Amino acid sequence: MSVDQDKFKQILREKGLKVTTQRISILKVLSDCDDKHLTAEEIYELVKIDYPEIGLATVYRTIQLLLELKLIDSVQLGDGYVRYEFGHNDEGGKKHHHHHLVCLSCGKVVSFEDDLLEKLEEKIEEKTSFRVVDHDVKFYGYCKDCL
């Protein structure tokens, strides 16, 4: 929460960028809705509650900034929207990889931590000489509540 905000402010200052109410508000919404995977429009609507003057363009520009700073990640669930989630990166920049379980009935997205993929990555490098540096894994199905 405020740890992230302080970190954000610090990075902005280090880069000579300005700490604005809009930027802090957007980070706060993303941090508060950590598990929601919000679209830009949804972030816009949530920020407007506390800060009605904000423009959608500012939301997009701030999302772009947060992506570049690796404070958030983008997720595409195949529904035509780009969604964003608070980044769970280590201090050292190493990613806490998690996969997404997407419910085809209610649309809910649950995260799932696992490292079995690393074995598969090794297998790929062996068999195809393709050097894997990142992956994106989604499972579609039905959640406990919808079954």
DSSP label at 89?
B
Residue 132 binds a second copy (CB under 8 A): yes
d(CA 133, CA 131): 6
Using CB distances below 5 to 8 A depending on partner kind, what does residue 130 bind out of a second copy, DNA, none? a second copy
Using CB distances below 5 to 8 A depending on partner kind, what does residue 20 bind out of a second copy, DNA, none? DNA
Nearer residue to a second copy within complex by CB, 29 or 72: 72
Alpha carbon 135 to its chain centroid, in Å, reads: 14
Degrees, nearest 5: CA angle 68-98-31: 55
CB of 45 to a second copy, least distance (A): 23
**Which amino acid, 88?**
H
Using CB distances below 5 to 8 A depending on partner kind, what does residue 10 bind out of DNA, a second copy, none? none
**Other CB atoms closer than 10 Å to residue 63's CB: what's the count?**
21
DSSP label at 78?
S
Nearer residue to a second copy within complex by CB, 8 or 84: 84
Using CB distances below 5 to 8 A depending on partner kind, what does residue 60 bind out of DNA, a second copy, none? DNA
CB of 119 to a second copy, least distance (A): 7
**Other CB atoms closer than 10 Å to residue 38's CB: what's the count?**
22
Q: What is the binding site for DNA (CB under 7 A)?
A: 12-13, 16-23, 39-41, 51, 53-58, 60-64, 80-82
